[in-house]
């Protein structure tokens, strides 16, 4: 439990080879009173060294992936998934495309590189970029699917541009992947014709001549056509145009000397160049656009910013962009982060002049070189497999978070005894600064709001007013997202009553922070309320006041004031025999959030969960009102079964549920099968006494049954609708991006109390 806010923040922008080492070290040696924030565009980080083996079918794709959601959860680090748009070095803030900035004390930038595509006219139809590598295999699969008709007439023609180590390994291993994909699809010609394009006169620059010769011989033996000494200057969906290299006897500017090579698909694997995002960070760059650093890995312009891996270029040090250097920088970076925080001298990184190089040939062997020798053998591939496997094992260990101790970020032993009650309020200065930074929506009903210092908000409300409140402890270490969730969770009760939300009062508890570190509280509260206002603005709701105190952990919620005069309130008593039960959103958020706390929620599940948690019930409520439904509720903490039973009891009817048709979030069934559940789930089973369930069910249906008691955060609406209206209702809900399902029907009550009959048919 976080009892006090960290006094400092270390931020990692990009979780590649070097920055991943910092995350690993945080498990073993977390820096006291310091928060670790990991920032990435993707929830998965891929290890490029294992891509060739995955293409060749030697490893499953999961073996080359680091699940950042589970990794960060396992070490207690915060993960921010968004696009960075810039850095405010004066304020020490990282700016984002769609969320408030995140502050840092030390920042490490490691977002990698991209293949050089300068001086090429490329259309997307025939070009498949290797990066982002996280999506490469899925994009390759889609392209091959489109090319199946061609492969039924002749072998596919595949081009790989770039004769360095990366391009060579792809040329060796990609044909195996293509053949598997096409064979599984039953095409007539699964084998591909591969072309490798290298602008220089030899392959693998930087490697020994003997190694380059061996690579060329093996490529030719495997049927790869190699094109030396010409640039690919144009890429179309029918092939590429080659132009002779400048300085050759034939002029590069002569159209007559250009050569067209027909191809069905082109992959780009040329030498590294800087991604455009590096140029937006406001730091000095070299002639290729990479960020310039000292030999201590810190930016030449800012001692609190480090640049690692391919993203940085050490002044006066000429080394290729290679993963080996990024890996070796990890220990130096960790020491220098600690040195910077304590104002100590930084250590120097000294890249080695020679290192082991191993190239997977896709057939159970590898070509390698080391200490002046070139070799080619099965043992070389086993050697590569051992090195790569050892590296990945360090980052695929997703054990649950360690308990906080005196050395951890959450340590509060040094904090003095804090006042609670009214004495535990967050300081006025923090509140004042946060409110000045927020853009608060104004409503005509708000006569006195946050723009004045009065004791209460004053609203002019005519007619009936609906009031509801909701409050929860933050289930995620992402204040902006938690603020959005808290707002939507609170608004949901109003929408379930067919009322128009007007104003909101916040209730928040922030972890302790002493007067010297109020900025941490300010940043946290600003992110929480910015997320809430993001949702309140869409709902035309004004934030008019609230109460914020200090406490042992972050909690937030809102009291919502709503206008009920214009519409008759929905109740839970309007269900009728024969009605269909429509659920507007899937269930399973409780078990997924519980799994996330245990570092058991996979990245793919986490991404879908995050999308689910910020889907508003406003549109579903409006559609239900249009259909003139009478019985509506929202599915929240007591779970689907309890909320359904409340409706049945109020309406004096029974119900039948179809487990197989119930919509469930990805991963929820598997996690329940592993015995993971939310702490509230056992209490929610009190309603089980009113449920008739079959004695025998499949494992899948057993898990679905258990999810009836799963507490939902930001759950959907449960609607009781006549069969005559259900098709139109479901169609309209689908048009606003929801995926509603009919999960059962309303039956006549046959007992003294309502019963829920569970149907286990598949």
* Length reported for the chain: 762
CB count, 10 Å around CB of 473? 14
> Can you tell me the mean pLDDT for 397-405?
62
Q: Are 403 and 27 in contact (CB under 8 A)?
A: no
pLDDT for 36-84, tens place per residue? 999 999 999 999 899 999 999 999 999 999 999 999 999 999 999 999 9
Confidence (pLDDT) at 418: 55
162 phi and psi angles, rounded to 5 deg: 120, 115
> Can you tell me the mean pLDDT for 281-298?
93
For residue 334, count CB atoms less than 10 angstroms from its CB and return exposed for 0-12, middle for 13-18, buried for 19 or more: buried
pLDDT for 328-382, tens place per residue? 999 999 999 999 999 999 999 988 878 899 999 999 999 999 999 999 999 999 9
Confidence (pLDDT) at 585: 96
For residue 520, count CB atoms less than 10 angstroms from its CB and return exposed for 0-12, middle for 13-18, buried for 19 or more: buried
Selection from 417, 394, 413 nearest residue 405 by Cα: 413
CB count, 10 Å around CB of 482? 24
CA-based torsion, 277, 278, 281, 284: positive or negative: negative
Q: Alpha-carbon distance 655 to 638, whole Å?
A: 18
Structure tokens at 420: 């609670």
Q: Alpha-carbon distance 77 to 611, whole Å?
A: 21
Beta strand residue intervals within 245-311, DSSP E: 259-262, 265-268, 272-273, 291-293, 298-299, 302-307
Q: Are 352 and 37 in contact (CB under 8 A)?
A: no
Q: Are 190 and 179 in contact (CB under 8 A)?
A: yes
Domain ranges of the chain: 8-113+274-352, 121-272, 421-563, 580-759
Beta-bridge partner residues of 122:
235
Q: Alpha-carbon distance 86 to 78, whole Å?
A: 19
pLDDT for 712-742, tens place per residue? 999 999 999 999 999 999 999 999 999 999 9
For residue 550, count CB atoms less than 10 angstroms from its CB and return exposed for 0-12, middle for 13-18, buried for 19 or more: buried
Q: Alpha-carbon distance 376 to 367, whole Å?
A: 4
Q: Alpha-carbon distance 306 to 111, whole Å?
A: 12
> Can you tell me the mean pLDDT for 305-309?
95
Apex 32 CA angle, 27 and 36, nearest 5? 55
Torsion of CA 218, 224, 230, 234, to 10 degrees: -150
pLDDT for 407-429, tens place per residue? 333 444 444 455 544 444 465 55
Q: Alpha-carbon distance 55 to 61, whole Å?
A: 9
Tell me the average pLDDT of the chain. Answer: 88
Residue 143: pLDDT band (50, 70, 90) is very high
Q: Are 492 and 643 in contact (CB under 8 A)?
A: no
Confidence (pLDDT) at 458: 53
Q: Alpha-carbon distance 447 to 410, whole Å?
A: 42
Apex 713 CA angle, 552 and 84, nearest 5? 75
Q: Alpha-carbon distance 346 to 502, whole Å?
A: 55
Residue 761: pLDDT band (50, 70, 90) is low
CA-based torsion, 290, 294, 298, 300: positive or negative: negative
Q: Alpha-carbon distance 14 to 628, whole Å?
A: 50
Based on its alpha-carbon atoms, the radius of gyration of the chain, rounded to whole angstroms, reads 30
pLDDT for 527-554, tens place per residue? 999 999 999 999 999 998 898 888 888 9
Q: Are 363 and 179 in contact (CB under 8 A)?
A: no
Beta strand residue intervals within 60-192, DSSP E: 65-67, 78-81, 84-88, 93-96, 102-103, 106-109, 114-115, 121-122, 127-129, 157-161
Beta-bridge partner residues of 473:
555
- Give the CA distances from residue 273 to residues 110, 113, 269, 285, 436, in Å, rounded to whole numbers and listed in that order: 14, 6, 11, 12, 42
Proportion of the chain above pLDDT 90, given as a percent: 67
Selection from 646, 610, 587 nearest residue 99 by Cα: 610
pLDDT for 74-132, tens place per residue? 999 999 999 999 999 999 999 999 999 999 999 999 998 888 887 888 876 778 888 88
Residue with the larger pLDDT of the pair 324 and 662: 662
Selection from 92, 705, 46 nearest residue 340 by Cα: 92
Beta-bridge partner residues of 640:
none
Q: Are 37 and 77 in contact (CB under 8 A)?
A: yes
Q: Alpha-carbon distance 101 to 87, whole Å?
A: 9
Apex 398 CA angle, 397 and 403, nearest 5? 115
Q: Alpha-carbon distance 217 to 227, whole Å?
A: 14
Q: If residue 376 lies in a helix (H) or strand (E), which one and from where to where? A: strand 373-377
Q: Alpha-carbon distance 191 to 760, whole Å?
A: 46
CATH homologous superfamily of domain 8-113+274-352? Answer: FAD/NAD(P)-binding domain (3.50.50.60)
Beta-bridge partner residues of 121:
234
CB count, 10 Å around CB of 369? 23
CATH fold for the domain made of 121-272: FAD/NAD(P)-binding domain (3.50.50)
Q: Alpha-carbon distance 585 to 715, whole Å?
A: 7
The domain 421-563 having CATH identifier 3.40.50.970: the answer here is no
Is the omega angle on the peptide bond into residue 450 within 30 degrees of 0, that is, cis? no
pLDDT for 233-265, tens place per residue? 999 889 999 998 765 444 444 454 789 999 999
* Lowest mean pLDDT, pick from 52-66, 486-500, 506-520: 506-520
> Whole-model pTM?
0.88
Q: Are 505 and 546 in contact (CB under 8 A)?
A: yes
| CB within 8 Å of 628: residues ≥ 6 apart | none
Structure tokens at 480: 């902006």
Apex 482 CA angle, 707 and 719, nearest 5? 45
CA-based torsion, 253, 255, 256, 260: positive or negative: positive
Q: If residue 166 lies in a helix (H) or strand (E), which one and from where to where? A: helix 165-184
> Can you tell me the mean pLDDT for 554-564?
89
Confidence (pLDDT) at 252: 42
CA-based end-to-end distance of the chain: 42
Structure tokens at 29: 């040696």
Do the domains at 8-113+274-352 and 121-272 have one common CATH topology?
yes
Confidence (pLDDT) at 254: 47
DSSP of 304-351, one letter per residue? EEEE-GGGEEETT------HHHHHHHHHHHHHHHHHHHTT-PPPPP--
Question: Which letter does DSSP use for residue 419 in this model?
Answer: P
Structure tokens at 600: 């058991």
Q: Are 194 and 223 in contact (CB under 8 A)?
A: yes
> Can you tell me the mean pLDDT for 302-321?
88
Dmax over CA atoms of the chain, in Å, equals 98
Q: Alpha-carbon distance 537 to 488, whole Å?
A: 11
CATH fold for the domain made of 580-759: Phosphoribosyl-aminoimidazole Synthetase; Chain A, domain 2 (3.90.650)
Place of tokens 């060749």: 56
Q: Alpha-carbon distance 438 to 371, whole Å?
A: 61
Residue with the larger pLDDT of the pair 167 and 401: 167
């Amino acid at each position: 439990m976080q009892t006090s806010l960290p006094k400092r923040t270390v931020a990692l922008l990009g979780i590649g080879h070097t920055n991943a080492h910092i995350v690993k070290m945080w498990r073993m040696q977390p820096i006291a009173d310091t928060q670790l924030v990991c920032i990435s565009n993707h929830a998965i980080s891929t290890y490029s060294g294992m891509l060739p083996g995955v293409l060749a079918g030697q490893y499953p794709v999961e073996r080359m992936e680091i699940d950042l959601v589970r990794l960060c959860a396992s070490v207690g680090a915060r993960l921010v998934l968004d696009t960075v748009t810039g850095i405010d070095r004066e304020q020490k803030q990282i700016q984002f495309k769609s969320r408030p900035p995140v502050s840092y004390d030390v920042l490490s930038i490691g977002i990698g590189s991209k293949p050089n595509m300068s001086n090429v006219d490329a259309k997307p139809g025939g070009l498949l970029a290797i990066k982002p590598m996280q999506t490469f295999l899925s994009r390759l699969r889609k392209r091959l699917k489109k090319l199946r008709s061609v492969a039924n007439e002749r072998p596919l023609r595949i081009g790989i541009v770039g004769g360095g180590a990366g391009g060579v390994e792809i040329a060796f291993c990609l044909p195996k992947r293509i053949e598997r994909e096409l064979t599984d699809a039953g095409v007539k010609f699964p084998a591909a014709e591969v072309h490798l394009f290298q602008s220089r006169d030899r392959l693998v620059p930087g490697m020994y001549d003997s190694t380059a010769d061996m690579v060329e011989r093996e490529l030719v033996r495997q049927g790869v056509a190699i094109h030396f000494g010409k640039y690919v200057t144009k890429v179309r969906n029918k092939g590429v145009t080659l132009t002779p290299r400048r300085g050759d006897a034939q002029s590069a500017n002569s159209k007559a000397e250009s050569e067209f090579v027909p191809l069905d698909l082109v992959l780009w694997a040329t030498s590294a160049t800087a991604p455009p995002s590096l140029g937006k960070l406001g730091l000095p760059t070299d002639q290729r656009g990479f960020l310039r650093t000292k030999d201590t890995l810190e930016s030449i312009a800012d001692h609190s910013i480090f640049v690692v891996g391919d993203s940085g270029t050490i002044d006066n040090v000429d080394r290729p962009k290679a993963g080996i250097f990024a890996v070796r920088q990890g220990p130096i970076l960790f020491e220098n982060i600690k040195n910077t925080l304590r104002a100590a001298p930084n250590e120097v990184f000294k890249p080695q002049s020679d290192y082991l190089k191993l190239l997977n040939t896709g057939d159970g062997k590898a070509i390698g070189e080391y200490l002046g020798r070139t070799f080619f053998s099965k043992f070389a591939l086993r050697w590569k497999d051992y090195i790569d496997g050892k590296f990945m094992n360090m980052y695929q260990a997703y054990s649950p978070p360690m308990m906080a101790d005196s050395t951890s970020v959450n340590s509060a032993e040094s904090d003095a005894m804090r006042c609670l009650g009214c004495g535990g309020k967050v300081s006025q200065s923090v509140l004042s600064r946060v409110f000045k930074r927020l853009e608060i929506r104004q409503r005509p009903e708000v006569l006195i709001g946050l723009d004045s210092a009065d004791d209460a908000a004053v609203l002019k409300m005519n007619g009936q007013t609906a009031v509801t409140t909701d409050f929860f402890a933050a289930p995620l270490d992402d204040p902006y997202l938690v603020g959005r969730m808290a707002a939507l969770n609170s608004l949901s009760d109003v929408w379930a009553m067919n009322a128009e939300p007007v104003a909101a009062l916040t209730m928040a508890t922030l972890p302790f922070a002493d007067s010297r570190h109020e900025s941490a509280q300010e940043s946290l509260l600003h992110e929480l309320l910015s997320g809430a206002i993001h949702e309140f603005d869409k709902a035309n709701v004004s934030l008019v006041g609230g109460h914020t105190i200090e406490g042992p952990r972050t909690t937030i919620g809102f009291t919502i004031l709503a206008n009920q005069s214009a519409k008759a309130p929905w109740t839970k008593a309007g269900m009728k025999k024969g009605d269909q039960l429509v659920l507007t959103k899937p269930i399973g958020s409780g078990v997924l959030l519980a799994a996330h706390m245990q570092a058991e929620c996979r990245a793919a599940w986490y991404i879908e969960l995050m999308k689910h948690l910020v889907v508003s019930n406003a549109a579903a409520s409006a559609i239900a009102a249009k259909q003139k439904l009478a019985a509506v509720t929202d599915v929240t903490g007591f779970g689907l079964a309890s909320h359904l039973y409340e409706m049945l009891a109020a309406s004096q009817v029974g119900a039948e549920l179809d487990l197989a048709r119930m919509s469930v979030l990805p991963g929820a069934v598997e996690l329940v099968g592993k015995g993971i559940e939310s702490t509230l789930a056992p209490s929610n089973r009190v309603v089980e006494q009113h449920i008739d369930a079959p004695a025998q069910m499949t494992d899948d249906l057993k898990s679905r049954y258990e999810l009836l008691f799963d507490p939902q955060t930001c759950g959907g609406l449960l609607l009781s609708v006549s069969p005559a209206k259900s098709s139109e209702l479901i169609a309209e809900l689908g048009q606003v991006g929801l995926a509603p399902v009919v999960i059962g029907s309303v039956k006549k009550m046959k007992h003294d109390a309502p019963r829920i009959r569970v149907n286990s048919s598949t």
